[in-house]
Structure 1
Amino acid sequence: MNVFDDPDNPDGDACRGDKWVGPGRTDTQVQLVISLALGLSAFLAFCILRPRWKSLYAARKRHSDPLLHLPALPDSLFGWIPTLYHITEQQVLSSAGLDAYVFLAFFKMSMRLFGALFVFAAFVLEPINRRFVDSRTHDPSGPQSFLFRQYATYRSYEHASPFDESDGPDQDPDSSFNRNMGHLWSYLVFTYFFTGLTLYFMDRETSKVIQVRQDYLGTQSTVTDRTFRLSGIPRELRTEAAIKDLVERLEIGKVESVTLCRNWRQLDRLVEQRQTVLAKLENSWSAYLARKPGDRAGGESNGDSGLGNDETEVPGGPDEEAGESERLLRGSSARRFAERERPQTRFWYGFLHLQSRKTDAIDYYSEKLRQLDDKILAARKKSYEPADLAFVTMDSIAACQMAIQALIDPHPGRLLTKPAPAPSDIVWKNTYAPRLSRRIRSWTVTVFVAVLTIVWLVPLAFLASALSICTIDKFLPSFGEWLRAHEITRSLVQTGLPTLVVSLLNIAVPYLYDYLSYHQGMLSQGDIALSAVSKNFFFTFFNIFLIFTVFNAVTSIFDVLRNSLKDTTYIAYTLARKIEELSVFYTNFIMLQGLGLFPFRLLEFGSVAQYPLLRLAARTPRERAALARPPPFCYGFYLPTALLVFILCLVYSALPGGFLVLGLGLAYFSLGYFTYKYQLLYAMDQPQHATGGAWRIVCYRVVLGLVVFQLTMSGYLALRKAFTVALLVAPLFVATLWYGWDFRKRVEPLTRFISLRSIRRAAGPPEGGDRESESAVSEEGGVAGPEERRRRGVFRRGSTVDEDREKGLRFVNPSLVMPLEQPWIYQDPPPPLVESEVDEVAAPPGFDGPESSGRGYETPPRGAPGASSNSSSSVSLGDTHVWRD
């Protein structure tokens, strides 16, 4: 159902010429108004709310180290913009880390590239189009357009036999050397020129990113930089001493420590259960303290009600602990707290847990917490079966890099070395999972994503065709007539609504793929983040770009594939035809993403909308403290859409009217750069530690975009019967593929490892001052001068973000060493328990209770906060009872 179907065929499914109302200039104008209205309103709201809600819009700045040297943003309406603009790349690297630098480098490269392409497309190529291209080519509203006539000629040969040499489009005269069609050669020239310009900008930015990465990682000294991951360990080597002896016999350096992963599943489950019980206990305390005491006869006077005051009734009020002690001394606390109704919970016991009864919730969960603490302490002393994975920490970065970049064992799959993730980045439950189990999970997720990709075809293909006037006329003719009479409403239905739905899919679907990536069995959060980027881009590119262009509908997929087997150029023809047909759709898509939705991301509309609900749902101090933490910045949610916009800008760059798409692309990446720069520096935190690995993903997707661009231009020229010109795109296509292959061999290793020449010892951190990195060797192998040292130096503030983040960390499963947290009941967090304290009295913080002869988490005595009004009772938890006197 498209404009290129034969309008003279009344029996076909095509839209007739008198019924077709295609997207035109009005659709773009309506979308521009909508995007500007959404964007300006969100931007102004952000400027007004930013100085008022610093706990949200400056969350990272408020919780970060003051040594980050980030400038304070003015509280004026627009005064923060110049300050943010003047923050340099070195400050971004120093305060946000390497991953943030690489992410913003892609946006900065795109700004420069599309700025240059826009100049050539607008001032060189567009005048050629206006002078030589038939004006009817730009009018998709009429089925008798120039492109329709050219494609109709080709379409008449679609079902011809591929062996019939007397018939087919190849018999048409080649217009490549027609003087009236000479302007088509300009498309070939600009295809080569734009491809070369793209590769030049990408290669230059790649060199810069690699140099910064090597300098950044080569001058810092963290436990991660000195540690490598050793997998495929045979059973006879699964001891710390054997692994240490093996590595040291390689004579690459001295082993500082070895962490052999073991099957800690039982311990990790106990820790997870403890977190659940701890949350339930804190909720019980919050429910108890939130209840007002009953009013008994002979109660206190109004002036001595105590809990009627705000400062004592609400947990966390001012001077709460002092007020509590004073009331206890007065002797009035016992009566008031005894009048509170204690929360109850139901627990199941007996054969198959078929019996149940209610009991005091605070006592029940306190006893369960005490029992779990005993089990955890006992589990920490057990020995566990070793796994085939270990983390080996060397005494130097150079020794670690030599181990990573070398083959250790001659047998396949044994003693494989890879860079180790940061200790805080490790998903420990996957370290002791068998390799076969991880592979099965990985392939299961991969197959599920492939099946899900096919499932997405149904709603997306329906969306691609259901909102056209043709479909509406077929099923709702009266509504179609009404839309034809109201131009703006028709534009909203036919173009604005699909654009909005696709944009919402781009926001919602990444959550699903992020969940799938997490359950794929990867060992680090950084690997999970990169996997989420790949999966989400696959969805964005395949389901949104290819389905909307090449296939258009589910039933068309098999037709396209069948015709492609007959004629290898069919996909290029179809791609060029549909790309030009959907130019308005993709123009509106880029416009909405850049002008309309980026300000909403700056506003953090989702966090703002959810905050009141989350604030009401947060009952415990721990939950309320979690609301103040900076939200995580997930690259998999934002990078795939930016890569799709990059590809769209490339594809439309040399087509008629491509300067408009390039201008919108320039606006998209400019707004995106400042939006994400603000969020990465001031508002959001990055839990991942991928050491800039997203750059290789970016480069491969740029090469893919160039391939699609060249196929589109070749098909576009072939549709105009310029077969010779179209064929001359082939060498460029081959050269681009070769560049991608060469990138993998030449550049990719430098995005994974640290070169030995980049490893430099620091000049020693002077107290209170910055540390300068030194390198005695220059690029050419001679002695590096001061100018080269300044050029290669990385802005230092004594330590990098990674060094601060990993200070004091070790490659140890947190379940083995982390302190056991006490219930957080009042405003200030309680100190964690150490092992020696678990066997002692651990009364809930915030009140003073007498000593007790029991163990574990004792409930307060009668008359204190949380005391039961009953004289005595017991809670049965298997073989253990806790008694209250």
Structure 2
Amino acid sequence: MASLGDIGVSALINIVTAFAFLLAFALLRIQPINDRVYFPKWYIIGARTSPTHTANFVTKFVNLNFKTYLNFLDWMPQTMRMKEPELIEHAGLDSAAFLRIYVLGLRIFGPAAVVAFLVLIPVNVSGGVLFFLSKDLVISDIDKLSISNVQPKSPKFFAHILVMYLFTFWACYMLYKEYDVIASMRLNFLASKSRRAEQFTVLVRNVPHVPDSSVSDTVKCFFKKNHSTHYLCHQVYKSSLISSWPRPSTMRTNMQRAVRKRQKMQNYLDYNQLKFERHPNKRPTRKTGFLGLWGQKVDSIEYYQQRIKELDEKLTTEHQKILKDPKRIMSAAFVSFNSRWGAAVCAQTQQSKNPILWLTEWAPEPRDVYWKNLAIPFVSLSIRKLVISLAVFALVFFYIIPIAFVQSLANLEGLEKVVPFLRPVIEWSFVKSFLQGFLPGLALKIFLWLLPGILMTMSKIEGHVAFSVLERSTAAKYYFFMLVNVFLGSIVTGTAIQQLNSFLHQSPTQIPRTIGVSIPMKATFFITYIMVDGWAGMAGEILRLKPLIMFHLKNMVIVKTARDRQKAMNPKSIDFPEAIPSLQLYFLMGAVYAVVTPILLPFILIFFAFAYFVYRHQIINVYNQRYESAAAFWPHVHHRIVASLLISQLLLLGLLSTKKAANSTPLLAVLPILTVTFHKFCKNRFEPAFRKYPLEEAVEKDAQDEASEPETDMKSYLCEAYLHPVLRSIEEFELSELGLGVDKNRAHFSSQLEKEQENKGSPKMQHLEVVVGQHESAYTHHHKASAQNVDVTDH
């Protein structure tokens, strides 16, 4: 069991590590050579240009303005200058709502820490029971500040119950206020946006087979009959283009391989044209053999232009094969309407008397579509979910083994009693402090590193068709894992190892009491975990060491053109599947230990404040979100924080039952009932705003658009809004695969498309294009026309 000295050693290690990371970040971020690593968001939106175009060669790489080094900590106040409305416009509502989770944590646990320190710490310290327990029970100084130090049957437990009631009521009040604010922000966000494709489009699945009729004709006839006033157009998809389970089709693979090869040839062409522009007296040449090492010497520009032309012809041929094969059409379509009201009615009502046919749901945002899963037969989804649920259950219990190993590191004194020969190895005080105060949290972090990728794969197998849903499903699995293994598993395995000798030599009636006493004793382990994950981990997040190294390696080896440099930035987006469950674990730890061991709360508060600064900086300057769901994840956040309150109440109820507090414990039984009632009230009050779109809002927004832009040509945009990335232009496909695509839905349909064409040479657009050597592909024009003729049907 870690002592105060061990916690001090861990705190010192993590504080020094975090300070070193922050100092390195503050210095690296002001170097011109690192500008695209620490400010990629501004390059993507076109608001920042490369600082390397200077007359002085040295200043391309190193900042020689020494005044900036005196103000290297300016990033912290700069992070706070952007107000929330500007942040929402800049990064989206998802990012703003994510930041509000950290603020919510500060608002809940800040007052709770004050009350706990003023009321519970004096009560716990005055108990003195741990001084008289058996020497076989391993305790530390921190345990003497917990509820374990209070005498059984003591009237002092009324103070803990009172604080639990106050904490629960305060947390519920803050949760209600925050849910209300987020729901209002979501509706305002949806109402304030210009026309977006997903507001007018519905995903239709399980289209029935009609003899002598194609899927496209069946969809057209059904919606012209049942939604004749508002139906506009639709797009059906080819299974070979999207996916063929369990492996991709040969046709789709060939097409994607040809697209990527064309990207590579285009890049070489751009590079050689840049070389020729710099040295117009010398045409670049290459050899036609393997890797250009031997063979006939030819003009490089003409060579790559010819290769691109051949690939365009191949892509056109492959595309036509897919479009002309009726057997490859899948029973799903994106159906677009001419009004939000028409789309809302279709998405939120049953379309057929057979409830398993013509299944409709709101279409994801075009950037949010996970195309591979559109081809999965709908009837197999239930079986997939059952299989994955069993797999997740098995994985959770498989991970108990490494968790138990981690807990053995955290309880070396208890392990010494079982395995005495380890004692000489860990007797040195610094080694013991390091092993108990730092290593357990680090080891647990390492074991958790691989888990999100495994869970994401499982969620993809389940068949979800949107990245946002995939990430929410992965987050749910990860939270369940964190709850069972990281939290409850740490308590149970830690107790089993640490108290093994005591269990074997005491009366069975004493075992529940020993477990009850041991639950608050695990606070020391969670404190070390918070410092490793929440302090040093957050500092590592803002340093971006891996992206920094990878960017410069790519610059040295791969980058030749502006497109290469754009790809090398790779800003990614907020890792919701890992970040949100980890946040919810902190809420769980805070809720459980707020009354049991309040000394843990300051460590959590430091984490919430520090992480808020870090993520605010990253959202403003780094992350480029793959999609925008308008805070659709908030109900999941709310539900799991309420679940944390319930778990904390039940654990305290069990703990007090081992303390023989018969007079005070029954008073706590009412609290879980009140919490569940609060949960149901919030679910009925707010959750519909995240599941459905009010018809009243739809009518009002349609009227506003009709009054302000009556001549908008919606059909021309909606008929191409949900084209598969392979069918889009080469550049759009490349950016979509990298997650660098710009949200084209932010603009009005026809007027903005025309403006983009007019401004294509402007600096704001050029950051997404290779300036030299651009030429339009014949394939790009041809495949869009073909897609409209075959796959898209107009009303």
Same fold (TM over 0.5): yes
RMSD value over aligned CA atoms?
4.4
CA 1:529/1:341 → structure 2, altered by over 3 Å: closer, same or farther?
closer
**Equivalent in 29, 40, 57 of residue 59 of structure 1:** 40
Is the CA contact (8 Å cut-off) linking 1:187 and 1:713 kept in structure 2?
A: no
Distance 1:141 1:101, change over 3 A: farther
- Structure 1 or 2: more helix by fraction: 2
Q: Given the alignment of the two structures, is residue 50 of structure 1 paired with residue 29 of structure 2, yes or no? A: yes
Q: Is the 8 A contact 1:391 1:420 kept in 2?
A: yes
* Paired position in structure 2 for 1:226: 200
**Alpha-carbon shift at residue 85 of structure 1 (Å):** 1.3
SS of aligned partner of 2:591: helix
1:11-50 matched pairs, under 5 angstroms:
22-50=1-29
1:718 maps onto 2:641 in alignment: no
CA contact (8 A) 2:207 2:332 kept: yes
- Match in the other structure for 2:235: 259
**CA distance in structure 1 between the partners assigned to 2:471 and 2:95 by the alignment:** 13
Q: Does 1:632 align with 2:583?
A: no
Structure 1 497/832 Cα, relative in aligned 2: closer, same or farther at 3 Å?
farther
Is the CA contact (8 Å cut-off) linking 1:137 and 1:146 kept in structure 2?
Answer: no
- The alpha carbon displacement at 1:586 in A equals 0.6
- The whole-number CA distance in structure 2 between the counterparts of 1:570 and 1:739 is 35
Report the secondary structure of 2:664's partner residue.
helix
| 1:641 counterpart residue number | 582
Structure 1 residues 230 and 577: alpha-carbon distance in aligned structure 2, compared to 1, 3 A threshold: farther
Query: Where do residues 490-501 of structure 1 align in structure 2 (5 Å cutoff)?
Result: 490-501=432-443
Structure 1 residues 220-299: aligned runs within 5 Å:
220=193, 221-236=195-210, 239-240=215-216, 242-247=218-223, 249-250=225-226, 254-265=230-241, 270=251, 272-277=253-258, 279=260
Say yes or no: does 1:206 pair with 2:179. yes
Match of 2:469 in 1: 527
Q: Assess if the C-alpha contact under 8 Å between 1:107 and 1:673 holds in 2.
A: yes
Deviation (angstroms), 1:807: 9.7
Do the aligned partners of residues 120 and 836 (structure 1) sit closer, same or farther apart at CA in structure 2, a change above 3 Å counting? closer
1:401 alignment partner in structure 2: 344
Match of 2:688 among 749, 753, 759: 749
504 and 734 in structure 1: CA distance in 2 versus 1, 3 angstrom threshold: same
Q: Secondary structure at the match of 1:431?
A: helix
Letter in 2 for 1:812: L
How far is 1:672 from its partner? 1.2
Identity across the alignment (%): 20
Q: 1:736 aligns with which of 675, 684, 695?
A: 675
Equivalent-residue separation in structure 1 for 2:125 and 2:16 (angstroms): 32
CA contact (8 A) 1:401 1:754 kept: yes
Of 736-745 and 26-35, deviating more is 736-745
Q: Is the aligned partner of 1:618 residue 2:558? A: yes
Aligned counterparts, 1:49-448, within 5 A = 49-52=28-31, 53-64=34-45, 66=47, 76-132=71-127, 134=129, 136=131, 143=138, 181-220=154-193, 221-236=195-210, 239-240=215-216, 242-247=218-223, 249-250=225-226, 254-265=230-241, 270=251, 272-277=253-258, 279=260, 316=271, 320-322=275-277, 325-328=280-283, 337=286, 343=292, 369=311, 372-379=314-321, 381-385=323-327, 386-448=329-391
Kindly provide the amino acid, as one letter, of the partner of residue 95 in structure 1: H
- SS class of match (1:235): coil
Report if aligned partners of 2:415, 2:497 keep a CA contact under 8 Å in 1. Answer: no
Aligned residues: 692
The alpha carbon displacement at 1:317 in A equals 8.8
Instruction: Name the CA distance, whole Å, in 1 between partners of 2:111 and 2:685.
Output: 27
Structure 1, gaps ≥5 residues long: 1-21, 68-73, 154-173, 290-314, 346-360, 559-565, 773-802, 840-885
Contact 1:238–1:387 under 8 Å retained in 2: no
Q: What residue is the counterpart of 2:505 in the other structure? A: none
The equivalent residue for 1:794 is none
Cα contact 2:259–2:726 (8 A) shared by 1: no
Q: Which among 681, 684, 690 is matched to residue 620 of structure 2?
A: 681
**Most deviating of 271-280 and 688-697:** 271-280
Question: 1:90-127 CA distances to partner (integer Å, 9 max, x unpaired)?
Answer: 11211111211221121111111111111211223323
Paired residues of 1:60 and 1:682 also in contact (CA < 8 A): yes
Distance 1:317 1:651, change over 3 A: same
Cα distance in structure 1, aligned partners of 2:719 and 2:555? 34
Identify the match of residue 405 of structure 2 among 443, 448, 462: 462
Is the 8 Å Cα contact of residues 576 and 713 (structure 1) preserved in structure 2?
no
Of residues 486-495 and 210-219 in structure 1, the stretch that sits farther from structure 2 once superposed is 486-495
Letter in 2 for 1:64: I
After superposition, the Cα gap between the structure-2 partners of 1:318 and 1:272, relative to the gap in structure 1 and judged at 3 Å, is closer
State the Cα distance separating 1:48 from its structure 2 match.
0.9
**Residue identity opposite 1:590 in structure 2:** I
Q: Distance in 1 between matches of 2:726 and 2:139?
A: 71
**Aligned mate of 1:812, from 697, 707, 723:** 723
Specify the alignment match of 1:859 in structure 2: none
Measured in 2, the distance between the counterparts of 1:89 and 1:206 equals 17
Q: Counterpart of 2:450 in 1: which secondary structure? A: helix
Contact 2:479/2:585 (<8 A) preserved: yes
Quick one: distance in 2 between partners of 1:829 and 1:643?
50
8 Å CA contact 1:316, 1:826 repeated in 2: no
Question: Is residue 831 of structure 1 aligned with residue 775 of structure 2?
Answer: yes
Deviation, 1:264, is 3.7
Change (3 A) 1:546 1:404: same
Change (3 A) 1:458 1:742: same
- Distance between the aligned counterparts of 1:50 and 1:763, measured in 2? 48
- C-alpha distance after superposition, 1:328-376 (max 9, x if no partner): 5xxxx7xx7569985479xxxxxxxxxxxxxxx9999879836632432
Q: Is the 8 A contact 1:283 1:619 kept in 2?
A: no
Distance 2:258 2:92 in 1: 36
Cα distance in 1, alignment partners of residues 605 and 456 from structure 2? 29
How far, CA to CA, are the matches of 1:672 and 1:540 in structure 2?
19
Deviation sequence 1:174-223 (CA, Å, 0-9, x none): 965xxxx2211011111111111111111110000000101111232211
**Structure 1, 815-824 or 644-653: larger mean CA deviation:** 815-824
The answer to whether the 8 Å contact 1:271/1:815 transfers is no
Provide the C-alpha distance between the structure 1 equivalents of 2:233 and 2:718, rounded to a whole number of angstroms: 17
Equivalent in the alignment of 1:589: 529
**CA 1:543–1:145 in structure 2 vs 1: closer, same or farther (change >3 Å)?**
closer
Tell me the residue number matched to 1:873.
Answer: none
Other-structure match for 1:303? none
Instruction: After TM superposition, give the deviation of residue 737 of structure 1 in Å.
Output: 2.6
Kept after mapping to 1: 8 A contact 2:370/2:467: yes
Query: How far did 1:506 drift?
Result: 3.4
Partners of 1:134 and 1:146 within 8 A in 2: no
Question: Is the contact made by 1:284 and 1:362 (CA closer than 8 Å) also made in structure 2?
Answer: yes
* Conserved? CA contact 2:455–2:478, under 8 Å: yes
Q: Distance in 1 between matches of 2:733 and 2:97?
A: 40
TM-score after normalising by structure 2:
0.77
Structure 1 position 488, deviation (Å): 2.5
Are 2:604 and 1:604 aligned? no
Deviation at 1:836, TM superposition (A): 8.7
Rounded to whole Å, the distance in 2 between the matches of 1:556 and 1:242 is: 67
CA distance in 1: counterparts of 2:497 and 2:646, whole angstroms = 26
SS state at 1:119 partner: helix
Unmatched segments (≥5 aa) in structure 2 = 49-67, 244-248, 295-302, 501-507, 735-767, 784-795
Structure with the greater alpha carbon radius of gyration = 1
Which piece of structure 1 moves more, 824-833 or 723-732? 824-833
1:256 is paired with a residue of what secondary structure? strand
